[in-house]
A and B are shown apart, each in its own frame.
Chain A
Amino acid sequence: MPKVMMKVNGAEAAAEVEGRTLLSTYLRDLIGLTGTHVGCDTSQCGACVVLVDGQPVKSCTAFAADLEGAEVTTVEGMTNPDGSLSVIQQAFQDYHGLQCGFCTPGMVMSTAALLAENPKPSEEEIRHYLEGNICRCTGYQNIVRAVMAASGQDAGALAAE
């Protein structure tokens, strides 16, 4: 089987893959980064979103063999160099932006992609951008608050639903 090399969270990774090996399988089963969650495995829930060359990608819907040489960031790569939580992660904790936590890795990575593109998104822009990430606990209100806080905005002033 061919060996596929990527840079994952800044470190070189390599693993032998089949054609059908998904990026999510590569990350979780082959290099042991289980922070990326596979929710639906049908491209609908967004729990498995990681960054590939800075772009949000559903890791269950990309083949590892197609990503030779890619730079991948997973939730494990989100902490600060000293191991403390990043601003986004801390905001999710502070504002209780998770209930069961299963969707959280995807939420955090999509938030990272959003804030890289749009550092001060409005509430509407946040809700629109996160539409591909499903929280089955329906904890969206606090997730949006967390993203507002992570972008340095007032998290208390959400529009009434």
Chain B
Amino acid sequence: MHNFEFVKPSSVADAVAALANGEAQPLSGGQTLIPSMKARLNAPEVLVSLTGIAEMQGVSRDGGALEIGAATPHATVAREAASHFPGLAGLAGQIGDPAVRARGTIGGSIANNDPSACYPAAALGTGATIVTDRREIAADDFFQGMFTTALDEGELITKVRFPIPGASAYAKFLQPASRFALTGVFVAKYASGVRVAVTGASEDGVFRWAEAEAALSSNFDAEAVAGLSVPANGMISDLHGTSEYRAHLVRVMTQRAVRAAS
């Protein structure tokens, strides 16, 4: 790995100032970034660690919403969100393995927007708000395709605010080598309707399945989506599964999520 300058600020303001240098990148848990740097897919000149910033840590309830500091590890979310928002805690507890969950963070996952990552499904499936150092971005506007987000250069996610649904669940079809989702579906039921977000399947990254949302909003039952399907065109096809297989999994995992949430 190429060497770099390591800095560890203790406030968001100092981190943003350090990131203003165009050659600097933020480092959160590093569970994706460090392997990428070893493979020389990424070679920042400066790494700005976010692990020493107290205001970016923790899980807190604010009325009907759960706010999670961007540098909060998955293991902490799995533990501390469980009584408030079990669907989200269940998702966090399925990411990677215990050592990955001890370091990897929600902000890192959402900022990276890997097309097979779990957290983007929860953010989009709840209509979460991505809070940065300078603005608030609705999840519907945030995810803009594989590894692409609405974040500007040097902009830092500081927390994510999830409206807590009446019922929710994440159903993940595990790709057992990478431990990412071969296909994962997050379903959330609100008084205003049901949201369904799919990760791991589309070449455009996480997406909402509008047809299933409409069907489940009128009848929150796994059978309500039994006759629906998504087109295989545009689904990821690789050695783990064809696009047709992933399209099939979208419906199956949606049904499993609805059953788990009911």
Partner-B contacts on A (CB < 8 A) = 18-20, 22, 41-44, 46, 49, 52, 55-58, 61-63, 65-66, 68, 110, 113-114, 129, 131-133
Q: Are A131 and B38 in contact (CB under 8 A)?
A: no
The docked-state distance in angstroms from the alpha carbon of A154 to that of B75 is 29
Instruction: Write the B18-51 contact mask toward A (1 if CB under 8 angstroms, else 0).
Output: 0000000001001100110111000000010101
Q: Are A43 and B98 in contact (CB under 8 A)?
A: no
Q: Are A66 and B3 in contact (CB under 8 A)?
A: no
Pairs across A and B, CB under 8 Å, 28 listed: A19-B3, A19-B4, A19-B5, A20-B2, A41-B38, A43-B31, A43-B35, A43-B100, A46-B99, A55-B75, A56-B99, A57-B102, A57-B103, A58-B103, A61-B35, A61-B103, A62-B30, A62-B103, A63-B6, A63-B49, A65-B6, A66-B51, A131-B97, A131-B179, A132-B96, A132-B99, A132-B100, A133-B97
Asked if B248 is at the interface of the complex by the 8 Å CB criterion, the answer is no
With a cutoff of 8 Å between Cβ atoms, the chain B residues found around residue A58 in the complex are 99-100, 103
The docked-state distance in angstroms from the alpha carbon of A58 to that of B179 is 15
Q: Are A19 and B6 in contact (CB under 8 A)?
A: yes
Provided the pairs A20-B2, A55-B75, A63-B6 are in contact, do residues A110 and B98 lie with their beta carbons within 8 angstroms?
yes
The docked-state distance in angstroms from the alpha carbon of A84 to that of B38 is 38
Asked if B259 is at the interface of the complex by the 8 Å CB criterion, the answer is no
The docked-state distance in angstroms from the alpha carbon of A114 to that of B101 is 13
Contact residue among B96, B99, B177 (Cβ-Cβ distance under 8 Å from A57): B99
Q: Are B35 and A56 in contact (CB under 8 A)?
A: no
Instruction: Please count how many residues in chain B sit with their CB below 8 Å of the partner chain's CB atoms.
Output: 28
The docked-state distance in angstroms from the alpha carbon of A60 to that of B25 is 20
Q: Are A66 and B49 in contact (CB under 8 A)?
A: yes
The docked-state distance in angstroms from the alpha carbon of A62 to that of B102 is 11
Q: Considering the complex of A and B, which 6 residue pairs feature the smallest CB-CB distances, nearest first?
A: A132-B97, A19-B6, A55-B102, A65-B6, A56-B99, A19-B4
Min CB distance A54 to B, Å, is 9
Q: Are B97 and A46 in contact (CB under 8 A)?
A: yes
How many interface contacts (CB-CB < 8 Å) are there between A and B?
A: 75
Asked if B8 is at the interface of the complex by the 8 Å CB criterion, the answer is yes
With a cutoff of 8 Å between Cβ atoms, the chain A residues found around residue B97 in the complex are 46, 131-133
Instruction: Name A's interface SS.
Output: mixed
Asked if B17 is at the interface of the complex by the 8 Å CB criterion, the answer is no
With a cutoff of 8 Å between Cβ atoms, the chain B residues found around residue A113 in the complex are 98
Asked if B1 is at the interface of the complex by the 8 Å CB criterion, the answer is yes
The docked-state distance in angstroms from the alpha carbon of A108 to that of B35 is 24
With a cutoff of 8 Å between Cβ atoms, the chain B residues found around residue A114 in the complex are 98
Q: Are A63 and B98 in contact (CB under 8 A)?
A: no
The docked-state distance in angstroms from the alpha carbon of A62 to that of B30 is 7
Closest to A64 in B: B6
Q: Are B98 and A129 in contact (CB under 8 A)?
A: yes
With a cutoff of 8 Å between Cβ atoms, the chain A residues found around residue B30 in the complex are 61-63, 66
With a cutoff of 8 Å between Cβ atoms, the chain A residues found around residue B38 in the complex are 41-42
Min CB distance B32 to A, Å, is 9
The docked-state distance in angstroms from the alpha carbon of A28 to that of B46 is 25
With a cutoff of 8 Å between Cβ atoms, the chain A residues found around residue B51 in the complex are 66
With a cutoff of 8 Å between Cβ atoms, the chain A residues found around residue B3 in the complex are 18-20
Most B CB atoms within 10 A — which of A18, A19, A49, A52?
A: A19
With a cutoff of 8 Å between Cβ atoms, the chain B residues found around residue A61 in the complex are 30-31, 34-35, 99, 103
The docked-state distance in angstroms from the alpha carbon of A97 to that of B121 is 38
The docked-state distance in angstroms from the alpha carbon of A42 to that of B40 is 12
The docked-state distance in angstroms from the alpha carbon of A62 to that of B38 is 12
